[in-house]
Every structure is written in C-alpha cells, then in structure tokens.
Amino acid sequence: MVESRVDKQADEQVDVLIIGAGASGAAAAWNLAETKMRIVCLEQGEWMNPSDYPSTTRDFEARSFGEFSISPNNRGRITDYPINDDHSPIKIANFNGVGGGTILYAGHYPRFHPSDFRVRSLDGVADDWPIDYETLAPFYDQDDQITGVSGLVGDPAYPAHPPKNSLMPPLPLGRAGETVARGFNARGWHWWPSDSAIATQPYEGRDRCINLGACLSGCAQGAKASTDITYWPAAIRAGVELRTRCRVSAVTVDDNDRATGAIYFDADGVRKHIRAEVVVLAMNGVGTPRILLNSTSQRFPNGLANSSGLVGRNLMFHPYATISGVFEEAQDGYRGPIDCLWSQEFYETRDEHNFLRGYTFEMTRGRGAVITALGGMASGRIPWGAAHHDAYRALHNRITGMVAICEDLPEAHNTVTLDPHLKDSDGVPSPRIDYTLSENSRNMLDHAVARATDVLRAAGAVDVMSESPLAVGGWHLMGTARMGTDPETSVVNEWGRSHDVKNLFIVDGSVFVTSAGVNPTRTISALALYITDSMKQRLANLFD
C-alpha cells in the first residue's frame, strides 16, 4: 500500500516499528532497546492478567475450550482474527496478546540440532539454511538466560560442543515419567528429561512450578516463561513502547521501495498511520504473510517483499500424533506440567524407514478429570448408563503417553493466502490455509504411532489409544517467508532483511527454511536475537 492512500494527519515518526509482541517481537524489542532508538511495538491483543487464567477457577478445564481455546476460531476474542482453515487437516492454534503463542504453549523448549540446518546436504530434500547451528548457538545461550531454561545437561541426542547448558534442574519425572521411561528402556531407546521453559526454582522474579497441570491455558504461577513476563518487562524498562489493541492491516512503502511504516486500527477502530525508518515483522508464520499479501501497491501488486512469489508458500506445521496408554497403576493424572521427557530415537533419517527426516516423542504426562471423560466417551471407552462410573475410574489418573512431533518438509502448494470473503472486525482480510499432509509425513506419523505403542505396551499399558494426525495441533507456523541468499528462492536474506525492501525485516517463524522435528519457540527467539544483533552490527550501512 503506497503512502498516498493514507491519511497522514495523525502520523507519528519512530525509528523502529515492531509488529507483534509474541516470542519473536519480544526478543527483537529487548535486543534493539540498547540502541536507544525510538522503538514502538504494535500488538493487536492485550496484556494478560495471570489471575484471570483458568487454573484459578474450578471450571478451568471448561474454560480451556472457550475463552482460552488454542483455536482463534473457537476463542473468538475481539483481539483475534478468524482464520479459514477448512482446507487443512490440521487447524491453526495461536494466541493474540502480549506474549503471543507463549501464553498457551506447553513450554517445551528444545533446540534444533546441527543437522537441522543441513537437510539438503544430508538427505537431499528441502534446502539447507543459509546459517548453521554454530551461528545460532550464542543466541540460544542468550535466550536461555532471559527465558530461564530447566533441563539436564548431557543429552546424548545433542553434540557436547557447543555445550547446551541448563540453568535449573529438570522438571520432576513423577510416576508417569517413570512409567514411560521404563518403556523406552525396555526397548533400548533414547529418552532424556525435556528442556523446558518452566522454572523449577525461583528465577528472575518468577516463582517455581507448583504442578498446576494447566500449562496450555496460561500459567497463573508465572513459572512458565511467556514473553510478557520475561523479555517485555526488561524491554519496556529499557525504553521500548508497547501499544496493545493496535491491529496492523498493511505496511506502507514509498516510491523508492522503502517501508515507511504501517497502517493500523486502534481499540476504537480508528485507522492510523505510524511512520518508521525500520519495520520489523513478528506476527508468526500466518500473520506475517497475511499482512505482506495485504500490502499491495503499484510497485508490489502481489504483496510486499514478494518478488520471489514465495510469501505465503511452503507453510510448514509439525504434524502431530498423540498416543496414550492406559495403565492399571495410578499415574500422575491431572497433576504436573505437561513437559517431562522426550525421546529422539527416531530423529534422523534411516535407510530402513519409508520416510526422510524424523520426529521427537514428547511425553504428555496425564489428563484432567474432564479431558479424561471427554476422550473416554468420544472413543466409546466410557459408555452412557450404569457402566459409566466403573469405566471412567478405569481411566481416571491411569492415562499417560506422548505426542510425536514430526518434521514437515516445505512444499510450495501449502499456502497462506488472503481469504476473498472472511475478514476480521476491522475489515482486514483473513488468512486462508491450504495444506495437504504429504506421504512422507503420513508414513512418519504411522511409524511414530507404532513405535509409541511399542513403548507403552512395554511399560505395561493395558490399552493404547491414538489420534493421527492431531487435528487441533497447528501450533507451529513456519516457512512462509523463507530465509536464503538467493532473492529468487527466498524472501529474506541470511540475516532476516527483505531482499526487496531494504528496511523491512522478518524475525518470526516465517523465515524458517525447514521445520526440524522439535518445537520451534527456542529457535524463533534465538533467530530474533540473531537478526536484531545483525542489524545492530550493521547500523551504519543497514540499508546497503
């Protein structure tokens, strides 16, 4: 959208405009704050009040299906935008607010592996990243300090050098962790305590985890590191201004192909323009391509920064399978964080597999009373009628298991586009998701379900249930503005700057070249720190 179409009467000028206050926007703001530039972040959501989180009320499980649902379409807050995901077997999960997706994430906090940056070289598929693990390692370390990562040093699934330190002891194994660990040991397969963004000791003003068991609907204790309580307080103290209820609709440009700022709607729906010398996009792998595609002009008729035609393409999720066992002995049930242990036995490509790349098993500990009943009745394990009670008690506190988080390979036909009909409450076009599960992913999911069943049976499960792919599992949104050195095959360069618009940067999961087989938040944060550090190193010639 060119400036001439914008009412400039209310314009204000800042040095750096960051759009989005989630994991990447928070890290970018914190890292740029020391430049003493005037930095403003616009966030469409609001600050969260931990005392409002569901775990503070008796109906906490019910509320996790409503106002704290992971689906923006179910949640339907005024701060959300609807998403047309009817054409995808995996539905979008997100949260719009200060902290973004970290408000509702589990806190699983793995790093990528060195091999994840060399997928083309090692396995002949997808592409290599233009950076490597060693480049990112110091920024992982930096993020670990701000986030406060718990875990156990020495995981044999990661190289010893550069070291991956832990700042706090791991989360408790509990009964369920012991059960699953015995299953992996019986098979002779790898497992290790998960790296987690959940504090196990008091850390930087946050208290330790007290096993509320409701991580996925916000941590009332503040033990889980969401960026509203980690990066943002420090960034604001350092001078960054964060404005909530400001929904950006488009990035503006001038006739020299420079970004000039953004159009946004405030809480009252008033349309405004803010001018900026530098624009940083941090809206996640769906939100960022949405706004780029909505930023059309004569110079950029197909959307901003899109000369490659790749904005919105190569959408990657992590296809999930969930596999749970029923045990005769009591497990942890509703108690304790979801995070516990992981296995990367099948993380890498093997000749004997009918798929390339691999996946991580992440244990999911237990289930609440309501979730147990819902799952049991939906699957027919718990009937209506007099037999209900005994059937329920055979499952209550007796379920544990894991998810498989599978590497998704980039495919150009998996897209985020603008829906021609659906709009948000400010009239901004909503994203439409078109995604198909590849044969590689299907084979990987089948393998994971079979192997997890082996583990759970070996651990003593008397019944095993699974869902594959997990329909609600579209938490991780990646690849839709990929990073690379070639402007014809990528959207941003190797340090996050748009090839087409020299003062436009992207710091969120959109820039991922491949997805790896682990949760992306730690890598998103590290990338945001790396990209903003690259900006600081180049301040004198940032736009050359």
For residue 476, give the nearest of 217, 93, 218, 164 by alpha carbon.
Answer: 93
Selected binder of another protein within 45, 72, 172, 431 (CB under 8 A)? 172
Would you count residue 125 as binding another protein (CB under 8 A)? no
Nearer CB in complex with another protein: 342/512: 342
Would you count residue 120 as binding another protein (CB under 8 A)? no
Selected binder of another protein within 153, 210, 450, 471 (CB under 8 A)? 210
Nearer CB in complex with another protein: 157/238: 157
CB of 396 to another protein, least distance (A): 6
Token pair of 434 as six digits: 């078109």
Which one of the spans 22-30, 130-138, 228-236, 526-534 is the region binding another protein (CB under 8 A)? 130-138
For residue 208, give the nearest of 152, 164, 153, 148 by alpha carbon.
Answer: 148
The DSSP 8-state label assigned to residue 16 in this structure reads E
Give the Cβ contact number of residue 58 at 10 Å. 8
Question: Which backbone phi and psi does 349 adopt, to 5 degrees?
Answer: -60, 135
CB of 212 to another protein, least distance (A): 4
Residues numbered 139 to 158 that lie near another protein (CB under 8 A) are: 154, 156-158
Nearer CB in complex with another protein: 73/211: 211
Give CA–CA dist 92/64, Å, rounded.
Answer: 16
Residues numbered 95 to 114 that lie near another protein (CB under 8 A) are: 113-114
Question: Which backbone phi and psi does 237 adopt, to 5 degrees?
Answer: -60, -30
Give CA–CA dist 521/510, Å, rounded.
Answer: 12
CB of 365 to another protein, least distance (A): 9
Contact 35, 294 (CB under 8 A): no
Would you count residue 439 as binding another protein (CB under 8 A)? no
Residues numbered 382 to 401 that lie near another protein (CB under 8 A) are: 384-386, 388-389, 393, 396
Contact 511, 136 (CB under 8 A): no
Residues numbered 273 to 332 that lie near another protein (CB under 8 A) are: 332
Cβ within 8 Å of residue 175, ≥6 positions away = 329, 330, 331, 332
Give CA–CA dist 327/397, Å, rounded.
Answer: 9
Selected binder of another protein within 12, 52, 86, 134 (CB under 8 A)? 134
Nearer CB in complex with another protein: 350/536: 350
The CA–CA distances, whole Å, from 76 to 69, 73, 82, 245 equal 9, 5, 7, 15
| Count of residues that bind another protein according to CB under 8 A | 69
Nearer CB in complex with another protein: 185/436: 185
Would you count residue 52 as binding another protein (CB under 8 A)? no
Selected binder of another protein within 72, 100, 213, 496 (CB under 8 A)? 213
Which one of the spans 9-17, 167-175, 407-415, 484-492 is the region binding another protein (CB under 8 A)? 167-175
Using omega within 30 degrees of 0 as the cis cutoff, is the peptide bond preceding 469 cis? yes
Give CA–CA dist 106/196, Å, rounded.
Answer: 9
Q: CA dihedral in degrees (4, 293, 288, 117; nearest 10)?
A: -130
**Residues in touch with another protein (CB under 8 A):** 53, 55-62, 65, 113-115, 117-118, 121-122, 132-134, 154, 156-161, 172-175, 177-178, 181-182, 184-185, 188, 190-193, 210-214, 220-221, 332, 334-336, 344-345, 347-348, 369-370, 373-374, 377, 384-386, 388-389, 393, 396
